[in-house]
Chain A
Amino acid sequence: AQSVSQHNHHVILSEAASLELGCNYSYGGTVNLFWYVQYPGQHLQLLLKYFSGDPLVKGIKGFEAEFIKSKFSFNLRKPSVQWSDTAEYFCAARGSTLGRLYFGRGTQLTVWP
């Protein structure tokens, strides 16, 4: 079965610091990858997604992620975080466009002003 691992459970940064959140998946075939964000009290929102093509994917709010097939990784990055980026971030994967999503356990990001 597929699984998604997020190794950073809680990340604390100061504003303007750079961010990288790790995500690894276990699946040998074609995979669709996603990063979702959940702001306090709000629903999950899609940050970015990868299906095929350019492995460097740009999303909303200045986030990007790089798909490295050889490492089964899809790390999320942002060069300069803001206080408003404080939220829970979830990595997810699915094996096909009709498949179910498998979520990582999430990473709580806290940004101090």
Chain B
Amino acid sequence: GAVVSQHPSWVICKSGTSVKIECRSLDFQATTMFWYRQFPKQSLMLMATSNEGSKATYEQGVEKDKFLINHASLTLSTLTVTSAHPEDSSFYICSARDPGGASSYNEQFFGPGTRLTVL
């Protein structure tokens, strides 16, 4: 299957600082990427859908000014957590949709996740 990478894999920051997380599709071009947040022992919650060259679509309850998403190229989307606070500590996962050929059925491939800890 296709490969999606995330960087960094973990980050610790002080309250009030901003943190940028990168999501890359390594062997395919992804016009659409997704950002999820996963709390311990819970499911993945979709935060936003990121389309290359346009503004991200945020899910209800997600602050777009706090979680800035940029999808400037077909292989890179970034999530910036601005003015991070301890309650933003979580596991952030991205996925990229591979439009591929007919057999791929627009499958989503997931990155390994980024563990954010805000002190």
- A-side interface residues toward B, CB under 8 Å? 32, 36, 42-46, 49, 51, 90, 97-98, 100-101, 103-106, 108
**Cβ–Cβ < 8 Å partners of B105 in chain A:** 32, 49, 51, 97
**Cβ contact of B34, chosen from A32, A46, A97, A100, cutoff 8 A:** A100
Residues of B within 8 A of A90 (CB): 43-44
Q: How far is the CB of A99 from chain B (nearest CB, A)?
A: 9
Asked if B46 and A100 make an inter-chain contact with CB atoms under 8 angstroms apart, the answer reads: yes
Label chain A's interface by main secondary structure.
loop
Question: Which of A46, A105, A108 has a CB less than 8 Å from the CB of B107?
Answer: A46
**Whole-angstrom distance between the alpha carbons of A32 and B108 in the complex?**
12
Q: Are A43 and B106 in contact (CB under 8 A)?
A: no
A66 to B89, CA, bound (A): 37
Shortest distance between the CB of B93 and any CB in chain A (Å): 7
Could you give 12 example pairs across A and B, Cβ below 8 Å? A36-B110, A43-B111, A43-B113, A44-B44, A44-B93, A44-B110, A45-B110, A46-B1, A100-B49, A101-B108, A103-B44, A106-B42
Q: A49-B105, A49-B107, A101-B34 given; name 15 further pairs at CB < 8 Å.
A: A36-B110, A43-B93, A43-B110, A44-B110, A46-B1, A51-B105, A90-B43, A90-B44, A100-B46, A103-B44, A104-B43, A105-B42, A106-B41, A106-B42, A106-B43
Q: A residues within 8 A CB of B95?
A: 44
Q: Is B112 an interface residue (CB 8 A)?
A: yes
Q: What is the minimal beta-carbon distance from B38 to any residue of chain A, in angstroms? A: 9
**Are B106 and A97 within 8 A (Cβ)?**
yes
Please, how many angstroms separate the alpha-carbon atoms of A57 and B60 in the complex?
Answer: 34
Residues on the A chain within 8 Å of B106, using CB: 97-98
